[in-house]
Amino acid sequence: MSGHEGDRKVWKESFSEKVRNEQLADDTAAWNAVTGLLMTIISIGLSLALFTVWACS
């Protein structure tokens, strides 16, 4: 998030506090889903790499 109040001025004027909180909650959920997916992909890749090193040695 940006620390500049001017970046959010229009957003704050356009939506009620309830709607802004819902938008932030949806945004947080989306970022958590993306991060979880990427961590899963990285973990599987790392596991396969370690398995390959173990199998070749």
**Per-residue pLDDT tens for 26-40?**
999 999 999 999 999
In this predicted model, what pLDDT tens digit does every residue of 44-55 receive, in sequence order?
999 999 999 999
Per the CB < 8 A criterion, the answer to whether 20 and 12 are in contact is yes
Read off the pTM: 0.67
On whether residue 25 sits in a domain, the answer given is yes
Give the pLDDT of residue 55. 96
If one compares 7 and 21, the residue with the highest pLDDT of the two is 21
Domain encompassing residue 43? 7-56
On whether residue 22 sits in a domain, the answer given is yes
* Cβ-based neighbour number of residue 7 at 10 Å: 10
On whether residue 1 sits in a domain, the answer given is no
Number of domains in the chain: 1
Give the pLDDT of residue 18. 95
Per the CB < 8 A criterion, the answer to whether 24 and 12 are in contact is no
On whether residue 30 sits in a domain, the answer given is yes
In b/e form, how buried is each residue of 13-52, taking b as 16+ CB within 10 angstroms?
Answer: eeeeeeeeeeeeeeeeeeeeeeeeeeeeeeeeeeeeeeee
On whether residue 2 sits in a domain, the answer given is no
